[in-house]
Amino acid sequence: MLLEVKNIRKQYQRQTLFCAVDNVSFSLQQRDYACIMGRSGSGKTTLLNIIAGISTPTQGRIIIDNTDIAPFDDEQASQFRNQTIGYVPQGSSLLTNLTAMENICLPYYLYSKNKQPDNIECCNKRAQQLMQMAEISHLSEIYPNQMSGGEMRRVAIVRALICSPKLLLADEPTNDLDDESSRQIMQLFSGLHSQGTTILLVTHDHEVANYASKHFKMEAGKLTDYS
């Protein structure tokens, strides 16, 4: 299994204790292409953030590539996650004072164990190849405030791929985009999937969901499998 989500619960203290993710379990095998649909507020982003390691669950375990990172210290955990998971968060997530190329290479610079010049060159080369695949090579030296929403999203996707993750998580990757930009992004995902990347995305859009072969539905924090 590439991803095992075991009995994940996330509670928030509001006026009363609120359960955003309620005892969720599921697994993905390598090369799965899965999507989670569900109404706004049903807990999808919270679940994705827990899988990505951005948020800690109140209860449960996440096992990625047969590794339980719970015993790891923070640095080991982020090192492992960075090499295994690529995350495209909701909305605009690029740093505005960095160019596309700098945004894309940032995860590599932050987490690469070995920052020898050869490896930096290797990172730049990979970034160029990925940008070519995503048809954004022309944006290399451009800052986010000079890009369209679809271009920013494609830069964020390429950034998520820079460390060659086995698992790509994407939260509403086509939200707010026109049909053509959405299609470009979904074609990019299909290409990545055919090259062996496991994909888990969250979407409201049934057309986007049709690209996936495994479908989950989230309702009031509970996840059900409906395919």
3-class SS of residue 149: helix
CA angle 152/49/223 to nearest 5° reads 115
Q: Is 201:169 a contact under the CB 8 Å cutoff?
A: yes
* Residue 43 binds ligand ATP, judged by CB under 6 A: yes
Which pair of structure tokens corresponds to residue 197? 């990347």
173 scored as a contact of ligand ATP (CB under 6 A): no
User: Smallest distance from the beta carbon of 5 to ligand ATP, in angstroms?
Assistant: 14
Q: Which is nearer to ligand ATP, 100 or 185 (CB)?
A: 185
Interface residue with ligand ATP among 2, 24, 32, 38 (CB under 6 A) is 38
Binding to ligand ATP (CB under 6 A) within 136-155 occurs at none
Nearest 10 degrees: Cα torsion 104, 105, 109, 114: 130
Interaction of residue 41 with ligand ATP, rule CB under 6 A: yes
Binding mask 17-36 for ligand ATP (x = CB under 6 A): -x-x----------------
In the complex, minimum distance from the CB of residue 18 to ligand ATP, in angstroms, rounded to a whole number: 6
Integer Cα distance of 203 and 39 in angstroms: 10
